[in-house]
């Protein structure tokens, strides 16, 4: 007897769909007649089952033929019970082929036979299968009726497995209807029954479906927790089809969170499994999702390739539901490419299939998307016509989540046509439905829309209430995510809310200057910045591993060891005489998978840690706290917020605040890019007039309004957007900007940059009770990278030389997103830099230092725990800033030991987070060490935050690939000022930069402006 369970497999579309997939057969026909080898009917039935299990359209069709033969013989023998079972099976296979009406015909024949035979269990199963078919047809209410009829029958028959499946299916329908809490209630009833019945496969599916509900509710961390549990069960059982489905669903979560690389990795794992299994239906779903990923990245042609592959597969297996979804996706891509005619062609094909199948939910989706086409083309009436049709369908089938989305889209149509009040009415309706279905994320979208309209209508106070309510929802959703990476990704997706909020407050400040709205806007700006870093820094001062399960800690340690081992395996793979790119790619894939597992284990540690639970969420500083804790009478805070329509600058002193409106973001970005090009482009960087002109232009935009307040004070700068890449030290002094001379800001100001002002508060708090290290300086410099290095002459065999050359090639392939030239060249001046620094220290009493050069500048020496004993830690080597995968950023240490043996010389970001430091200063005298992935709301996610988490109070980093000799000179002067003249690091860096610019050889900002100090200024 077959009964199917609905499993949620996410398809990433403009509105997310759930593609139901059939579970494995819960119970096969087992009758005493099977012992009779002459029973042709039973043999035919079993042959049909094997064909069904192939999971292909051809297999399904052949299975139907065998079932029909068996049915004919069961009819001849008058075995009504087996006739019912065969009819039930034929009906369900037709359902899987997308032929729902035929499925209903066979189920309608099966049911009365089961009833006549008095087989209550089969009756319950067949009625449940009616529910499955109607769910496929999009008739959720009808499906619900059948499932609810089946439930008491399954209970009366004592069929606990059938009861569990029906409860799960009811939960799935409620989920489809947008009633997520109801869905969770039914899933929570189903799960223990599934377990007690020993149905581990059903358990995996139900856990997967619970994860899908949490994802829809915006609780992505809970979604991932349940997906991981489902994945674990599926892998334990070898239930690989469900494993593939869950991996696909996890990828969709990462895609929604903006974690594109992770999404692609999980889709790739899912795709590999589905191909191995020959599960072409699921393969089509995942290919479609990869297409959506590439579409979101702007690679429309690549997206089309994946969609076409997906469409061919879904046609081959006869999955018309998937075909309708993919045709819909193809329409969306062509719409975004500007080919609206072709988009409409695909949408209409999708619509035709949905109508044929009676899939009103799919039809509603496509009508909605056609409405968006007409909305984008400015055809308001046609847009509304399609949206209203979609709305009617959603309401007919009880799809309240879809209803809320369409109401929101109608609101956007009226907003564009300046019918503000009507737009407001629709946003309000959508918000009400969103609340009813507990879709907090969509509720926040509508509140944002309502705030936008009310602002435009002049109701600024009411707009303020709505946007603050929206932000409260966002903050609540954010706190439910334990993973710092996922928190950052989620926060990046909602930065527009904060930008609008800040702009609204500043508009209120214009009309009510005495009401301190500019102060509130500054505090909103602080709330929108570097929140994950703030939480990481607070966490770093607590032992969150205390009280954690030893098994979990062992898993963490094992994964760390595996990561170290795979780095070594990679070196061996690329160092073979004939390196296999396929093997290298596979190792890279495994390495990324291990990194993901490591992050997941760390998330589990946070989720189960009593110490982590006891940590209060660090609150960004208020203005009075900021003035008291961060500033003094000689220090000014400059905080920027760049916006589409206008930007803002707040100038904060220890006693007051002044705000300024600046040009829009696009204008500032143009000037900032021009400025950076003038400094770093080798063709023009040595032309003072070109540099001064570009510097002056940007200075006029972002500093001139506040020029009168700057004086000669220290500047704490909290940048935004492209300003994270800007060397403020090389900007022209605003008052002198028009003179086109080298009147750089550094001449009058000590400059420190911060991810947020609140970050400095936490850094000081963490450092307050810490005992200072008893030794002064640790230097790791001038490592060995290349077989051509003089330090290896006479120590290498020709074979080892060839391996090292291959290793450099492999690193190039591994870290190809970096601008660093490969193979990495020795930085000879880092040795001179080290020697000069040490000479400076040797002149002073009670100074202790450690210098690790050559082969000793190794990853092993960097991670052995000894660095915690030093006040200053100095790395003089190459740095890697991997903007695509920040976790693969790092510092290059020696690649070989003194015997010529290959060693892991890559100190990656994860290693840096695990360092134990108590340093007042970490100096990264390397290339682009201040860069990383620029995540909205977080700023640069790279090496700096890793060292701050490890315990550094401040970090000196660079913004571009710096000149080796120039860096060496700057560092020597920096240490002279800091050690001999006893200047604070920020003051010492400024003095060193000023001295360099006074020398003709080094006066171009290219040589001295790359380095900046982040963190503590005192």
Over 214-244, what HEC string results? HHHCCCHHHHHHHHHHHHHHHHHHCCHHHHH
pLDDT at 999 > cutoff 50: yes
My answer on whether 997 and 870 are in the same domain is: yes
Q: Which two tokens stand for residue 495?
A: 């930065």
pLDDT at 975 > cutoff 80: yes
Mean pLDDT of 383-403: 88
Q: How far apart are CA 264 and CA 277, in angstroms?
A: 20
- The reply to whether 627 falls in a domain is yes
My answer on whether 608 and 730 are in the same domain is: no
Question: 564: domain range?
Answer: 550-569+579-614
User: Among 27-31, 243-247, 883-887, 895-899, which range has the highest average pLDDT?
Assistant: 243-247
> Among 489-498, 566-575, 745-754, whose mean pLDDT is lowest?
566-575
What's the distance, Cα to Cα, between the start and end of the chain in Å?
A: 76
- The reply to whether 415 falls in a domain is no
My answer on whether 939 and 922 are in the same domain is: yes
My answer on whether 740 and 867 are in the same domain is: no
Looking at residue 794, what is its pLDDT?
A: 63
Looking at residue 19, what is its pLDDT?
A: 27
Q: How far apart are CA 359 and CA 362, in angstroms?
A: 5
Strand order in the sheet with 751-753: 657-662, 647-652, 635-641, 714-718, 751-753, 1011-1015, 954-958, 921-924, 870-876, 775-781, 849-853
User: Among 279-293, 474-488, 582-596, which range has the highest average pLDDT?
Assistant: 279-293
Q: Are the C-beta atoms of 333 and 307 separated by less than 8 Å?
A: yes
- Residue 7: what are its φ and ψ, rounded to 5°? -115, 130
Predicted confidence (pLDDT) per residue in 268-278, tens digit: 889 988 888 77
- The reply to whether 488 falls in a domain is no
Looking at residue 901, what is its pLDDT?
A: 76
Minimal CA–CA distance to 779: which of 842, 703, 862? 862
My answer on whether 630 and 609 are in the same domain is: no
Half-sphere exposure in the Cβ direction for 209 (13 Å, CA): 36
Looking at residue 760, what is its pLDDT?
A: 86
My answer on whether 680 and 783 are in the same domain is: no
Q: Percent of the chain having pLDDT more than 70? A: 82
| 481 Cα distance to chain centroid | 12
My answer on whether 602 and 712 are in the same domain is: no
- The reply to whether 995 falls in a domain is yes
My answer on whether 741 and 816 are in the same domain is: no
Tell me the CA distances in angstroms from 1003 to 686, 691, 963, 1009, one per residue in order: 9, 12, 13, 10
Quote the number of domains for the chain: 3
Predicted confidence (pLDDT) per residue in 919-961, tens digit: 999 998 866 554 544 445 444 456 888 888 888 899 998 888 7
| 1013 Cα distance to chain centroid | 28
- The reply to whether 496 falls in a domain is no
Banded model confidence at residue 573, pLDDT cuts 50, 70, 90: low
Minimal CA–CA distance to 254: which of 596, 534, 598, 604? 596
My answer on whether 663 and 776 are in the same domain is: no
> Among 107-111, 519-523, 582-586, whose mean pLDDT is lowest?
582-586
pTM of the predicted model over 0.85: no
Q: In the chain, how long is the greatest CA-to-CA distance? A: 107
My answer on whether 644 and 599 are in the same domain is: no
Q: How far apart are CA 248 and CA 290, in angstroms?
A: 10
CATH of the domain at 875: 3.40.50.1460
Within 541-580, where are the H helices?
A: 550-574
Mean pLDDT of 832-855: 82
- The reply to whether 507 falls in a domain is no
My answer on whether 822 and 845 are in the same domain is: yes
Looking at residue 480, what is its pLDDT?
A: 64
Looking at residue 785, what is its pLDDT?
A: 81
Alpha-carbon Rg for the chain in angstroms: 32
Q: How far apart are CA 488 and CA 494, in angstroms?
A: 10
Looking at residue 905, what is its pLDDT?
A: 85
Q: Which two tokens stand for residue 94?
A: 């037709």
- The reply to whether 398 falls in a domain is no
The mean pLDDT value of the chain amounts to: 82
Q: Which of 726, 757, 788 is the last residue of a domain?
A: 757
Q: At what angle do helices 550-574 and 798-814 cross, to 10 degrees?
A: 120
Looking at residue 511, what is its pLDDT?
A: 94
My answer on whether 836 and 981 are in the same domain is: yes
Predicted confidence (pLDDT) per residue in 327-366, tens digit: 999 998 998 888 999 999 999 999 998 887 777 778 888 9
- The reply to whether 90 falls in a domain is no
Q: Are the C-beta atoms of 909 and 888 separated by less than 8 Å?
A: yes
| 215 Cα distance to chain centroid | 14
- Angle at alpha carbon of residue 934, lines to 678 and 609, rounded to 5°: 155
């Amino acid at each position: 007897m077959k009964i199917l369970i609905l499993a949620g497999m996410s398809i990433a579309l403009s509105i997310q769909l759930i593609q139901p997939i059939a579970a494995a057969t819960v119970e096969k026909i087992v009758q005493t007649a099977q012992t009779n080898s002459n029973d042709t009917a039973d043999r035919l039935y079993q042959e049909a089952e094997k064909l069904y299990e192939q999971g292909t359209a051809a297999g399904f069709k052949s299975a139907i033929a065998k079932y029909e033969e068996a049915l004919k013989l069961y009819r001849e023998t008058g075995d009504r019970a087996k006739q019912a079972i065969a009819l039930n099976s034929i009906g369900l296979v037709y359902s899987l082929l997308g032929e729902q009406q035929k499925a209903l015909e066979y189920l309608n024949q099966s049911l009365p036979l089961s009833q006549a035979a008095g087989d209550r269990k089969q009756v319950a199963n067949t009625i449940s299968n009616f529910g499955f078919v109607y769910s496929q047809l999009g008739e959720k209410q009808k499906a619900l009726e059948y499932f609810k009829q089946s439930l008491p029958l399954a209970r009366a028959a004592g069929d606990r497995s059938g009861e569990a499946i029906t409860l799960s299916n009811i939960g799935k329908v409620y989920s489809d209807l947008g009633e997520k809490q109801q869905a969770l209630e039914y899933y929570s009833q189903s799960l223990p029954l599934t377990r007690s019945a020993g149905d581990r496969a059903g358990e995996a599916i139900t856990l997967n479906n619970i994860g899908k509900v949490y994802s829809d509710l915006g609780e992505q961390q809970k979604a991932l927790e349940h997906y991981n549990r489902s994945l674990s069960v599926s892998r334990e059982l070898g239930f690989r089809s469900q494993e593939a489905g869950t991996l696909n669903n996890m990828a969709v979560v990462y895609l929604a969170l903006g974690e594109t690389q992770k999404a692609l990795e999980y889709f790739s794992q899912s795709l590999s499994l589905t191909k191995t299994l020959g599960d072409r239906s699921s393969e089509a779903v995942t290919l479609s999702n990869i297409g959506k990923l590439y579409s979101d990245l702007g690679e429309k042609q690549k997206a089309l390739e994946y969609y076409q592959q997906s469409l061919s597969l879904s046609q081959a297996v006869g999955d018309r539901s998937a075909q309708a979804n993919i045709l819909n996706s193809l329409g969306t891509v062509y719409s975004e490419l500007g080919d609206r005619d072709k988009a409409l062609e695909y949408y209409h094909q999708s619509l035709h299939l949905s109508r044929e199948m009676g899939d009103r939910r799919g039809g509603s989706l496509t009508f909605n998307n056609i409405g968006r086409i007409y909305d984008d083309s400015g055809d308001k009436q046609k847009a509304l016509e399609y949206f209203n049709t979609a709305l009617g369908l959603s309401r007919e089938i009880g799809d309240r989540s879809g209803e809320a989305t369409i109401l929101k889209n109608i609101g956007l149509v009226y907003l564009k046509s300046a019918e503000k009040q009507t737009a407001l009415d629709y946003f309000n309706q959508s918000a009400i439905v969103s609340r009813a279905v507990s879709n907090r994320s969509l509720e926040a979208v509508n509140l944002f829309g309502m705030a936008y309209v009310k602002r435009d209508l002049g109701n600024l106070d009411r707009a303020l209430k709505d946007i603050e309510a929206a932000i409260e929802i966002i903050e609540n959703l954010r706190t439910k995510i334990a993973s710092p990476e996922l928190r950052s990704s989620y926060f990046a997706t909602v930065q527009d809310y904060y930008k609008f909020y800040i702009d609204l407050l500043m508009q209120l400040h214009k009309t009510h200057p005495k009401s301190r709205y500019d102060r509130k806007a500054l505090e909103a700006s602080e709330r929108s910045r570097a929140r994950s870093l703030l939480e990481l820094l607070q966490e770093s001062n607590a032992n969150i591993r205390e009280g954690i399960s030893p098994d979990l800690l062992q898993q963490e340690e094992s994964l760390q060891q595996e990561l170290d081992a795979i780095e070594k395996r990679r070196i061996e793979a690329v160092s073979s005489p004939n390196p296999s790119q396929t093997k290298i790619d596979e190792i890279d894939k495994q390495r990324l998978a291990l990194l993901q597992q490591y992050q997941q284990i760390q998330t589990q540690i946070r989720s189960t840690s009593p110490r982590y639970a006891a940590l209060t969420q660090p609150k960004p500083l208020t203005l009075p706290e900021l003035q008291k804790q961060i500033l003094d009478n000689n220090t000014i805070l400059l905080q920027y917020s760049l916006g589409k329509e206008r930007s803002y600058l707040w100038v904060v002193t220890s006693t007051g605040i002044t705000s300024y409106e600046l040009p829009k973001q696009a204008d500032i970005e143009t000037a900032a890019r021009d400025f950076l090009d003038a400094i770093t482009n080798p063709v023009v960087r040595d032309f003072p007039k070109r540099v001064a002109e570009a510097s002056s232009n940007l200075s006029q935009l972002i500093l001139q309004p506040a020029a009168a307040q700057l004086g000669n004070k220290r500047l704490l700068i909290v940048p935004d957007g492209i300003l994270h890449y800007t060397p403020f030290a090389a900007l022209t002094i605003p008052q002198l900007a028009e003179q086109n001379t080298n009147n750089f800001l550094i001449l009058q100001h000590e400059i420190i940059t911060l991810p947020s002002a609140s970050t400095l508060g936490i850094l000081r708090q963490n450092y307050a009770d810490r005992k200072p290290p008893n030794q002064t300086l640790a230097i790791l410099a001038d490592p060995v990278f290349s077989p051509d290095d003089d330090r290896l002459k006479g120590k290498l065999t020709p074979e080892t030389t060839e391996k090292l050359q291959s290793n450099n090639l492999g690193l190039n392939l591994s870290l190809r997103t970096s601008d660093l030239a490969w193979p990495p060249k020795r930085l000879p001046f880092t040795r001179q830099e080290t020697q000069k620094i040490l000479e400076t220290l040797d002149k002073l009493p009670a100074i202790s230092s450690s210098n690790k050069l050559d082969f000793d500048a190794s990853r092993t020496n960097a991670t052995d725990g000894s660095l915690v004993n030093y006040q200053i830690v100095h790395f003089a080597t190459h740095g890697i800033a991997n903007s695509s995968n920040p976790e693969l950023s790092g510092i290059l240490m020696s690649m070989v030991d003194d015997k010529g043996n290959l060693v892991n010389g890559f100190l990656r970001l994860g290693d840096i987070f695990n360092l134990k430091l108590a340093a007042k200063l970490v100096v990264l005298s390397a290339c682009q060490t201040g860069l990383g992935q620029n995540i909205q709301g977080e700023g640069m996610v790279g090496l700096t935050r890793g060292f701050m988490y490890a315990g550094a109070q401040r970090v000196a980093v660079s913004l571009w690939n710096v000149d080796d000799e120039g860096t060496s000179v700057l560092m020597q002067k920096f240490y002279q000022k800091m050690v001999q003249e006893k200047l604070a690091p920020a003051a010492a860096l400024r003095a060193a930069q000023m001295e360099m610019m006074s020398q003709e050889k080094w006066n171009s900002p290219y040589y001295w402006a790359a380095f900046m100090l982040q963190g503590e200024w005192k």
